[in-house]
Every structure is written in structure tokens, then in C-alpha cells.
Amino acid sequence: MHSCLLVWAPRLRLSPTSPAAPALCSASEETMAWPLCTLLLLLAAQAVALAWSPQEEDRIIGGGIYDADLNDEWVQRALHFAISEYNKATEDEYYRRPLRVLRAREQTVAGMNYFFDVEVGRTICTKSQPNLDTCAFHEQPELQKKQLCSFEIYEVPWEDRRSLVKSRCQES
């Protein structure tokens, strides 16, 4: 048991006759030592895992894909761009807009990648009308024409450049 404690606390230098040894463990009850060592090992592993988890500032570097904040202005711009491009590509005369955003993610690269999974619905407004973002949705199910769409947008803000990299929709 003392060897286990010395691994975790090498500066203690306990001996079986040390006054602190009985308080930490009993040399005669070595079977009790293994659960304590296991617990210490698990706690240390958890501490290491928490210390190595990505922090907010790590998102700027790294290139990992993270959940995006839908309240963020840049995320909103990217979503609006995706919906605008989607509407340009459809032959429907009616404007479509998000019913709900199922998932929004972002990735820092040489610019930003945005990934959206969105449920899109058909509005009562034609594409030529103003204020399309506030148009009501069709109430009749056969006119709603809901779709589940996935969009990928690549944006380089300092060059004022963005593009719709992928767009895939299916009836829901």
C-alpha cells in the first residue's frame, strides 16, 4: 500500500512506522489499499481530462468543429446567406424560411465554416415581396412543403467573401 501512496505523493516518504501511515492506510490491511489506489487513479485521470478539454479561447485556433451560438451576429449572417442562396436556387415562387434550426456548428479555418441543419417551411409571401423574414408560414399542410436542409457556408470576413459550399434538402 505504501508504494501506491508513494506513487501519488512521492515527497511524503512514508514508512510503515511513520505516524502518518496508519492515518492513510493500514499496512496490515493491504486488501483495502487497492480500492483507494483505484479511486486516486480515477480522480487523477478525471483531473487530467478536464484540464485538457477545449476552452473557449482554443476555438480560435485548432480547427475543431464546435456548436455555434445562434445569437451571434456572424452565425445569423451565415444562416441568412444560406437561406437566401437556397431561395435563389428553388423554382418555387414562394419564399421559404427557417421553421427551426436543429443544429448550428462552426469551424475556424482560413476563414470560417458554418454548418446548419435547418427545418425550412414555405411562407405565404412571394419572393418579390418586401420583409420576407417576417412572412407567415402556410397553415395548410399540403402548402407548407417542409424540408430538412443541411447547409455548409465558407466565409472569409476580411475579404468580404462567402459561399454556399453544400446544400442538401429533403422533404420532411
Residue 100, pLDDT > 60, answer yes
Of 20-29, 59-68, 94-103, the least confident: 20-29
Q: What is the 3-state secondary structure (H, E, C) of 23-89?
A: HHCCCCCHHHHHHHHHHHHHHHHHHHHHHHCCCHHHHHCCCCEEECCCCCHHHHHHHHHHHHHHHHH
pLDDT, tens digit, 9 for 90 and up, residues 114-150: 999 999 999 999 999 888 888 999 988 888 899 999 9
In this predicted structure, what is the pLDDT of residue 172? 83
Is there a contact between 70 and 114 (Cβ–Cβ < 8 Å)? no
Predicted confidence (pLDDT) per residue in 12-63, tens digit: 444 455 454 444 444 555 566 667 767 766 776 676 555 554 545 545 556 8
Q: Is the pLDDT of residue 6 over 80?
A: no
What whole-number distance in Å separates Cα of residue 47 and Cα of residue 15?
28
What is the C-alpha separation between 159 and 81, in angstroms, rounded? 16
State residue 37's pLDDT score: 64
- Separation of alpha carbons 16 and 113, rounded Å: 60
Q: How confident is the model at residue 169 (pLDDT cuts 50, 70, 90)?
A: very high
Half-sphere exposure of 61 (CA within 13 A, CB side): 4
Domains (range + CATH), the chain: 2-52 (no CATH), 59-171 (3.10.450.10)
- How many whole angstroms separate alpha carbon 79 and alpha carbon 62? 23
Residue 12 confidence (pLDDT): 43
The pLDDT value recorded for residue 95 is: 94
pLDDT tens for 75-91 read 999 999 999 999 999 99
For residue 116, count CB atoms less than 10 angstroms from its CB and return exposed for 0-12, middle for 13-18, buried for 19 or more.
buried
